[in-house]
């Protein structure tokens, strides 16, 4: 069982997640970061990996203090082999997007899985369309062998596509942005993607 606000122990298997496209309109599936399944690791993590996970966890908590202190009590964080998992609740879709953005800005983060539930859904106009757009874009990234799909997080809120993650090159970033801009329900694309060569804390 994943501990609250903790780095997982070496014996706990890697994060498992199968993204579900719930078009039923339930509040729990409000704005999802569409993700592919994360492979489970059956081997024990090395000491250096555990130390790196601890550094990521500490830096992320520090960012919460500096940017959004409410995350300290409402957001549960688990770090495993460079993968960050968020669970818990936030008030708005923008808060959920912010958590993802903050995680990707930390050196050593290789994947972000954001399962935060949004409690205030009054500003969301069409959940089904947003979920469909997110799932479609995730599918395009997975299908493109030139794109490392797990390096990106996708959120769609009211037709606005928020992209974050780490691109290996400018060309890869432009490809991801282009896919987003050509989505059927996309009205705008907000690009938070950083390049692998960019300095991260």
Beta bridge partners of 162: 155, 190
CA-based torsion, 45, 48, 54, 58: positive or negative: negative
Which residues have a Cβ under 8 Å from the Cβ of 80 and sit 6 or more positions away?
7, 8, 12, 14, 15, 45, 53
Domain 6-18+41-118 class? alpha beta
Find tokens 């081997």 and name the residue.
43
Question: Which tens digit of pLDDT belongs to each residue from 135-164?
Answer: 999 999 999 999 999 999 999 999 999 999
Q: Which residues of 72-91 are buried (b: 16+ CB within 10 A; e: fewer)?
A: eebbbbbbbbbbbbbbbebe
Mean per-residue pLDDT of the chain: 81
pTM tops 0.75:
no
Does pLDDT of 126 surpass 80? Answer: yes
Question: Cα separation of 176 and 190, whole Å?
Answer: 12
The CATH number fitting domain 127-195, selected from 3.40.30.10, 3.30.430.20, 3.30.300.130, 3.30.2310.20: 3.30.300.130
153 by DSSP, 3-state: which? strand
Question: Which tens digit of pLDDT belongs to each residue from 21-36?
Answer: 333 334 333 444 333 3
Question: Cα separation of 124 and 57, whole Å?
Answer: 31
């Amino acid at each position: 069982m994943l501990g609250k606000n903790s780095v997982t122990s070496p014996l706990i298997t890697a994060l498992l997640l199968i993204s579900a496209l719930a078009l039923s309109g339930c509040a729990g599936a409000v704005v999802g970061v569409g993700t592919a399944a994360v492979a489970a690791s059956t081997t024990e993590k090395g000491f250096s990996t555990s130390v790196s996970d601890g550094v990521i966890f500490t830096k992320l908590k520090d960012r919460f203090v500096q940017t959004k202190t409410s995350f300290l009590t409402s957001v549960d964080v688990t770090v495993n082999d460079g993968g960050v998992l968020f669970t818990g609740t936030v008030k708005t879709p923008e808060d959920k997007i912010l958590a993802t953005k903050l995680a990707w800005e930390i050196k050593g983060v290789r994947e972000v899985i954001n399962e935060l539930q949004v409690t205030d859904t009054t500003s969301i106009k069409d959940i089904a369309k947003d979920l469909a757009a997110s799932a479609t874009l995730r599918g395009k990234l997975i299908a493109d062998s030139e794109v490392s799909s797990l390096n990106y997080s996708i959120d769609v809120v009211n037709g606005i596509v928020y992209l974050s993650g780490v691109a290996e090159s400018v060309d890869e970033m432009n490809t991801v942005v282009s896919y987003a801009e050509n989505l059927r329900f996309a009205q705008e694309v907000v690009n938070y993607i950083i390049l692998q060569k960019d300095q991260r804390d």
